[in-house]
Amino acid sequence: MGPKYIQQKYMPVICEALSDDPEITSFVPMKLGMTNDSFIFECRSGTFMLRLPGRGSEALIDRKQEYEVYRLLAGRGISDEVLYFDPKTGIKISRYIEDARVCDPRSKSDLKRCMDVLRSFHDLNLSVGHLFDPWERLEYYESLRGDTPSRYGDYALTKATIRDIYEWTLEQPRHIILAHIDPVADNFVFTPDGKVYLIDWEYAAMQDKDIDVAMFAVYSLLDKEHVDCLINFYQNGAEDRLQKKKIYAYIAIAGLVWSNWAEFKMNNGDVLGEYAPGQYRFAKDYSAYFYAFS
């Protein structure tokens, strides 16, 4: 389906969001994401983004829960401005942030800015009515494969190791708040005036705040040096070795969670490149780092 067809199909939604009959002067694809397809359109009221949930996303994301999060964030200046959200379909229209760029995960100065934003968000101690349980998600994504075995021959052994690490995290002090869960580098948007927005709250839910640092690391496929920098930036000079070990644990767990997610997506025909095997490597490598950490 081309952009012209998409524009015509979703004109009623656009009109509802903007409360008028906009004269659209441009309508172009923005990106084909791993979960959604997005389009940028311009009209008299400004520039906006139309997000359409992608194939299979209904098995991965609860749109009513996402809607709850956006209602909580509205007006706080944390995320982009959402003008329309359908909790049944997940169709969303938001105001496009002009002349912005996303985080460069290889830039330590960008990493610091992102961790400052993440820490400030966590300090709000927001709450919603749903929980992200990484072990539940791991087993759910695994179940979506059905009878298709994992691509990784030592998966069962890796999963058993991750289970032990997950149980260790449950015994540690945890600060359960609204966590973003999906703080990929592309979701930190830097504006020319120095503002940094955190966008795309599809997976946001209640969980230990430290899991967000781990999620940033695995999504960006950071090497060990940059992971340790990331943790130091989040801690903001207050070194906490237990927290660091816990983040290593969450990196290992997250690696296997998103490895199973990636296997489901690839079984549906999606091409994820280095992302998929990278997640499995995080599960294995950070299991070893976790056990070696003293």
Domains of the chain: 3-95 (3.30.200.20), 101-292 (3.90.1200.10)
Encode pLDDT of 261-273 as tens digits: 999 989 988 889 9
How much is the pLDDT for 250? Answer: 98
- List the pLDDT tens digit at each of the 294 positions of the chain: 577 878 888 899 899 899 877 889 899 988 655 567 899 999 988 999 999 987 656 666 889 999 999 999 999 999 999 999 999 989 999 999 999 999 999 999 999 999 999 999 999 999 999 999 999 999 999 999 999 999 999 999 999 999 999 999 999 999 999 999 999 999 999 999 999 999 999 999 999 999 999 999 999 999 999 999 999 999 998 999 999 999 999 999 999 999 999 999 899 888 899 999 999 999 999 999 999 997
Q: Tokens for 237, please give them.
A: 């000079």
